[in-house]
Amino acid sequence: MKKYRKLSGVKEIARLADVSIGTVDRVIHNRSGVSAKTKSKIETIIKQLNYQPNILASRLASGKVYRLAVLIPRGSEKTDFWDAPLKGIKRAEEEIKQYGISVATFFFDLNDKTSFIASTEQIKKQKRYDGVLMAPSFVKESLSFIRYCRDQSIPFVFIDSNIEVSGSLSYIGPPLFQSGFLGARLCTFGMKKTKKVLFITISKEKNRYNYSKIEEGFKNYFFENNVDHDLVKLTITDTEKESVFRNLEKAFVKHPDIEVIFVTNSRVFSVAQFLETKKYKQIHLVGYDFSKENQNYLKSGLIDFLICHKPEEQGYRGLMSLYHHLALHLPVDPMYFMPIDIVTKENQDFYR
């Protein structure tokens, strides 16, 4: 019995298949250089022996280092949202660095697309990265960088937002349509008399795919449930406080009977600041993300609901997806949707 167990590894598979150990190793790690007939024979023997390769031991023995580039916005004084994905990325890095994984992080400013371009140029200039984890915040510039990745056969993973392009390894983030659908339902709790809803996007770079999917889901809720409502859309491309206040002031002058405001991203705190300054206490406000700024206004009651998608977990899973694909040759989900969490004043102290 002891002899059987000792031989039931790669050596035993090679003996039964009448091939070299190197050939078995190529089949196990899905490398080229093995005929279809031989590969089929080896795979059959592997199944018969119920052989499970020690992938981590193989990784250590190979000595190969995989270099991963991370491209995400830098946290700022205005919002700390991106601190959470970075925390998840660092957690994943700590877990896998012992297995020959090197991670370099490149930051950009969400208010400056030239900083995004500069970071992509740094990545391209070094010509050393095997995979990229990125937040495609600037669509046009992201598409240009994605073409480079595809040309160089560099797998890339999106987090937080998605761009519908062929060739991406995975998208890890919110299910946008369902998120918008839920947002509309949460808005109905504040619809009393006029049923007027202000639908706001505050972003310098409008990722049409993301916001259109959220809007599609939002409108679909009212349609499917035959809910009477009056929808007013507002897009603010200058994210500075003065601009947000100015645009909201105009909206309220034109539509003084607004009952509900829905903000399509994490800048819901900007709207809460306006409502606080103007002493609009009866407005029902719904938005996204558990940032510190949003938490404060949730606690004070100016924000009624926050929809959250576990940004720390997005960063963690994004880096691990590249590791699984490159180093372990494991399958990766092309779409991994994060859960949709509803955070309120009552449960925010217990949300992580």
Which amino acid, residue 32?
Answer: S
Return the pLDDT at 256.
95
CATH architecture under which domain 65-173+311-338 falls:
3-Layer(aba) Sandwich (3.40)
Percent of the chain with pLDDT over 90: 69
* Chain segment 71-93, per-residue pLDDT in tens: 999 876 567 889 999 999 999 99
Under CATH, which number does the domain 9-53 receive? 1.10.260.40
**Distances from the Cα of 176 to the Cα of 61, 67, 208, angstroms:** 42, 31, 12
Q: What is the pLDDT of residues 197-213, one digit of tens each?
A: 999 999 886 556 788 89
Q: How confident is the model at residue 57 (pLDDT cuts 50, 70, 90)?
A: low
Answer yes or no: is pLDDT of 56 > 70: no
pLDDT recorded at residue 4? 40
DSSP-based three-state secondary structure for 351: coil
Angle (deg, nearest 10), helices 36-49 and 21-28 = 80
Per-residue pLDDT reduced to its tens digit, 284-334:
999 999 999 999 999 999 999 999 999 999 999 999 999 999 988 888 999
According to the model, what pLDDT value does residue 309 have?
Answer: 94
113-149 pLDDT per residue, tens: 999 999 999 999 998 899 999 999 898 999 999 999 9
| Closest of 162, 199, 183 to residue 340, by C-alpha | 183
Query: Whole-number mean pLDDT of the chain?
Result: 90
* CATH of region 176-308: 3.40.50.2300
Q: Mean pLDDT across the stretch 251-272?
A: 96
CB-CB contact of 262 with 196 (8 Å)? no
Cβ–Cβ < 8 Å for 214, 162: no
pLDDT score, position 255: 96
**Sequence-ordered alpha helix ranges (H) in 30-168:** 36-49, 55-62, 83-96, 113-126, 139-151
Question: What is the per-residue pLDDT for 172?
Answer: 96
Nearest to 342 by CA among 223, 233, 220, 185: 185
Torsion angle, alpha carbons of 295, 301, 305, 306, to 10: -10
The average pLDDT across 213-218 equals 95
Name the region of 147 (left: φ>0; alpha: ψ -120 to 50; beta: rest). alpha
Note whether 299 and 289 are within 8 A (CB): no
Give the residue-averaged pLDDT of 212-229.
95
- Of the two residues 1 and 21, the one the predictor is more confident about is 21
The residues, ordered by sequence, that sit 6+ positions from 275 with a Cβ below 8 Å of its Cβ are 281, 283, 285, 302
**What gap in Å lies between CA 226 and CA 221, rounded to an integer?**
8
Domain with CATH 3.40.50.2300 in the chain: 65-173+311-338, 176-308
- The model's pLDDT over 223-240, given as tens digits with 9 standing for 90+, comes to 999 999 999 999 999 989
Of the two residues 273 and 50, the one the predictor is more confident about is: 273
Residue 284 and residue 195 in contact, taking contact as beta carbons nearer than 8 Å:
no
pLDDT confidence of residue 295: 95
Helices 139-151, 113-126: crossing angle, 10 deg rounding: 10
Are 286 and 260 a contacting pair, CB within 8 Å?
yes
Q: What is the pLDDT of residues 138-182, one digit of tens each?
A: 989 999 999 999 999 999 999 998 988 778 899 999 999 999 999
Helix (H, G, I), strand (E, B) or coil at 345: coil
Residue 99 confidence (pLDDT): 86
Alpha carbon separation from 58 to 152, 243, 328 (Å, rounded): 26, 56, 9
With pLDDT > 70 as the criterion, what percentage of the chain qualifies?
92
Task: Give the pLDDT of residue 2.
Answer: 40
Q: Which long-range contacts (CB under 8 A, 24 or more apart) does 328-335 make?
A: 328/55, 328/59, 329/29, 329/30, 329/55, 332/169, 332/170, 333/170, 334/168, 334/169, 334/170, 334/171, 335/170, 335/171
pTM strictly above 0.85: no
Domain(s) of CATH 1.10.260.40: residues in the chain: 9-53
Residue 16 has pLDDT above 90, yes or no: no
- Asked whether the predicted pLDDT for residue 59 surpasses 80, the reply is no
Instruction: Examine the pLDDT at 1 and tell me if it is beyond 50.
Output: no
Helix (H, G, I), strand (E, B) or coil at 330: coil
